[in-house]
Amino acid sequence: MRRTRLTHAGVAALLMIGSWTAAGTLPAAASDTGPATSAASSPTAPEPASAGLLQAMQRDFGLTRSEAEARLSAERRATDAVPEAREAAGSAYGGAWLDSTDGELTVAVTEEAGAATLKAVRAAGAAVRTVEHSAATLDAAKARIDRLDAPDGVSSWSVDPAANTVVVNVARERKNDNDVRRFVAEAREAGPVTVRTVREPARTFAAGTVGGDPYYTGNVRCSIGFSVHGGFVTAGHCGGAGAAVRGWDGSHIGHFQGSSFPGNDYAWVNVGSGWWTVPVVLGWGTVPDQLVRGSAEAPVGASVCRSGSTTRWHCGRVLAKNETVNYSQGAVHQMTKTSVCAQPGDSGGAFISGDQAQGVTSGGWGNCSSGGETWFQPVNEILNRYGLTLHTA
């Protein structure tokens, strides 16, 4: 790779897959593969977040800079508190979520939790809510629904800890279809289920050529997600294992070393031939680039931002985790749903909360004019699956 500026790097991409050689791919948000700028090499102490991330949060959430910084601080505290609170709750644990308005972390517990358990959960830094169903019960119900054959009118399903139920999302115009109603009836037999409607079914995003630093495999076009030592991670629907990858300038980068879609939507590509990696999520000249310093998982309710080559920086909240998404190509499991919008060309891009990597863009519904929702494949799952190490600042 021969270039001198990070601001020219590509972002990850979503594509419509009929086969690995299907036309219609989309460029999307990327970490980067280029020399580090002064931001990447600065020896100063870590800031709460980059100016670009704060600007995007102010724009998308209607916050002041100090309010955005306060929200990130509260989310970092909540991220650190969740594991301790979950351990304290034990078998009574019912899930956790963050209130984005006041930054309060809430942990749900069942009625079996005694006074000592409640005290320990609060000591971890969380408020407590008593619920009927444990997280284990809800997870088991979702797992049973995962084994059902979902029709196209069913968009996704996941555990909603605040509602203490499994939420099944169906497309508004398809909710009365016989096959959708049959699926919902079977899902209700699996455990506590609530049905909600969304405007459209889930889909991957197809698009033609857009600006940014894409990579190519065959006639499929995608973009980089997060840098790892030895390569980068991206969406699995971008290419099959062994496929050759070319960079934005047509030069050889490497090959897909592993790829999974559907079922999962992740992949990783090795980097060589003069290309290299840096721990950066691109701002595309709209906002400064964001350094990546880790991959601590943000809780439900936390803010999260996405970098994509079509719509660039957009922010929203984490809405659900471990959601099963029903694409036309097949179901994808263990996804995280967000209120962040996306459009064709944003697929495979980086989702980040503060300076913590969260995942790579997979698909969604809607757009950035009328709104929508987008799912990402959690980055820690990708790292663990392939034994990779995130490249951090």
Positions annotated as catalytic residues are 237, 265, 347
N-terminal to C-terminal alpha carbon distance within the chain: 21
For residues 283 and 289, is the Cβ–Cβ distance under 8 A? yes
Integer-rounded Cα Rg, in Å, for the chain is 20
Report the C-alpha gap between 92 and 298 in whole angstroms: 22
Can you spell out the DSSP letters for 177-211?
A: SHHHHHHHHHHHHHS-EEEEEESS--BPPP----S
Beta strands in 328-388 (DSSP E): 330-338, 350-353, 356-367, 371-378
Whole-angstrom distance, CA of residue 40 vs CA of residue 38: 5
Residues 123 and 356: their CA atoms lie apart, in Å, by: 25
Instruction: Give whole-number Cα distances, 290 to 11, 145, 293, in Å.
Output: 13, 38, 10
Question: Which of 203, 179, 161 has its CA nearest to residue 367?
Answer: 203
Residues 212 and 30 sit within 8 Å (Cβ to Cβ): yes
DSSP state of 339: S
| Per-residue tokens: 359 | 């995942």
Q: Is 102 exposed, middle or buried (0-12, 13-18, 19+ CB in 10 A)?
A: exposed
Beta-bridge mates of residue 302: none
Cα–Cα distance measured from residue 393 to residue 391, given in angstroms and rounded to the nearest whole number: 7
Residue 83: asked if its preceding bond is cis (omega within 30°), the reply is no
